[in-house]
Amino acid sequence: GFYVVGYFPSYRNLSEVPDVKFKMCNVVNYAFFSVNSTGTLTVNNPLLVPQVVTKAKANNAKIFVSINEAATNNFKNMAATAGGRNNFIKDVMANVRLYNFDGVDIDWEFPRTDDGTDVTFTALIKELSDSLHRDAKYYLTMAITAGKYAGAVRDAIKAEVFGYADMFNIMSYDDFSSTVPYRHHSNYNLSVTSLDYWVTTRGMPKEKAVLGFPAYGRASGITQTGTTMSYRTILTDGGNGGRSQSDSAVITSNSAFPGGYTIYYNGQPTVKLKTMLAKQRANGVMMWEKWHDAPDANSLLKAACDTIGRTY
């Protein structure tokens, strides 16, 4: 069926994400467990993990563990040796069984063709696929670049990897500039570009392609940090732009930005368009992340589900 994937970060409070947000998804990714340079995993917020697993399963969603790196180059260093990859896979399998996960989502941002990590990444994914798919038991998914820009990052995903993973979460967002104003980080055109590249040009199987959209906004042309804002906050703080669902809102002035600033995000109409695009040309949508979404009728997950006729 059509995937609706939602990430649940380990630093969120489960009580602030209503049950319906789990019902709306058929895949929930717990983010993150973090890998060190020798392949050992750190469980972030271990007391929360079983609660999220239970909540997902109670709402008929699959629950995957998303794995990132605790520090830059940990994936690179771990994957560089057969021993490192073996340690990692053993620890992954142990944690999957311990917490009763249904699968694993790899969030290596990013392997590259210019430092050899494309080769070690491919080896890692093949070996991990072999372990997870034994007896067809567990899923393997990964987060990948939007694919807009030619070069070392998008080229690192080799065609053979399409056969090893079950699903590719395409991160069609964060295409912004800290110096150029008035630029949307995740407009509809970027989604088209992503599917043009991955599915049409590269030949990713349509049934494995999942189109990502953000539940947060980014200001463009602002060099200061902290100018991302959750969709739910944009709706409450974003003036008329936020409440009108128009994809950009003027955030009222504060001490850091005396004149206010414009933030660019996806409202329900854009998410509906992106979901229709994914229905035609891919096999799912993914949202980062559940807590960012509005808790009411303005929900972006709701917009996606309504578009495909998914009940919740």
Residue with tokens 């395409």: 170
pLDDT on residue 183: 86
In this structure, are strands 3-9 and 216-219 parallel, antiparallel, or unpaired? unpaired
Residue with tokens 């996606």: 304
Q: Residue 254 gets which letter from DSSP?
A: -
Find residue 140's DSSP bridge partners.
Answer: 104
What is the Cα gyration radius of the chain?
19
Please list the ranges in the chain whose pLDDT falls under 70: 225-226, 238-244, 253, 256
pLDDT on residue 181: 80
Alpha helix (H) ranges present in the chain? 19-23, 48-58, 74-79, 82-99, 117-133, 161-164, 188-195, 231-237, 239-243, 268-281, 300-308
Nearest Cα to 148, choosing from 98, 184, 189, 90?
A: 189
How much is the pTM? 0.96
Digit-coded pLDDT (tens) for 108-145? 999 999 999 999 999 999 999 999 999 889 999 999 99
Q: What is the spatial distance between Cα 237 and Cα 182, in angstroms, rounded to a whole number?
A: 19
Q: What is the spatial distance between Cα 46 and Cα 38, in angstroms, rounded to a whole number?
A: 21
Q: 3-214+267-308 maps to which CATH number? A: 3.20.20.80
Q: What is the spatial distance between Cα 76 and Cα 117, in angstroms, rounded to a whole number?
A: 6
Residue with tokens 């995000």: 265
Digit-coded pLDDT (tens) for 194-212? 999 999 999 999 999 999 9
Q: What is the spatial distance between Cα 266 and Cα 269, in angstroms, rounded to a whole number?
A: 8
Q: Are 150 and 189 in contact (CB under 8 A)?
A: no
Q: Are 29 and 8 in contact (CB under 8 A)?
A: yes
